[in-house]
């Protein structure tokens, strides 16, 4: 299986990283929207990581609150936020994709 580092190095499209935890209520509430966006937005890669299962990745990205979303374009973090704000997530993806045009 590819590591996150490999995925980010090899991808040519923007990436949305979603850091979650099974015990996180807000994470569970925003997950259906995240899944819907991942199915509908084809020019972006969506990756989900459970902070309890992927502790090294969470530490590498300095995740201290869930959910946290990190947006990567051209191998650089261009945005990040924590919280289950649906509008903020949609807007951040729109901005990420507009930077790709």
Active site residues: 24, 27
Tokens of 96: 């990420």
Q: Are strands 45-50 and 15-20 parallel, antiparallel or unpaired?
A: parallel
Name every residue whose Cβ is closer than 8 Å to that of residue 86 and which is 6 or more positions away in sequence. Answer: 30, 33
Structural element, H or E, at residue 76: strand 76-82
């Amino acid at each position: 299986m590819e590591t996150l580092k490999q995925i980010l190095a090899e991808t040519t499209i923007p990436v949305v990283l979603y850091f979650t935890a099974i015990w996180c209520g807000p994470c569970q509430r925003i997950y259906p929207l995240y899944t819907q966006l991942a199915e509908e937005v084809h020019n972006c890669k969506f990756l989900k990581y459970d902070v309890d299962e992927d502790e090294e990745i969470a530490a590498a990205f300095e995740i201290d609150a869930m959910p946290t979303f990190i947006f990567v374009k051209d191998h650089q973090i261009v945005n990040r936020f924590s919280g289950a704000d649906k509008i903020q997530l949609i807007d951040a993806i729109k901005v990420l994709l507009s930077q790709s045009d």
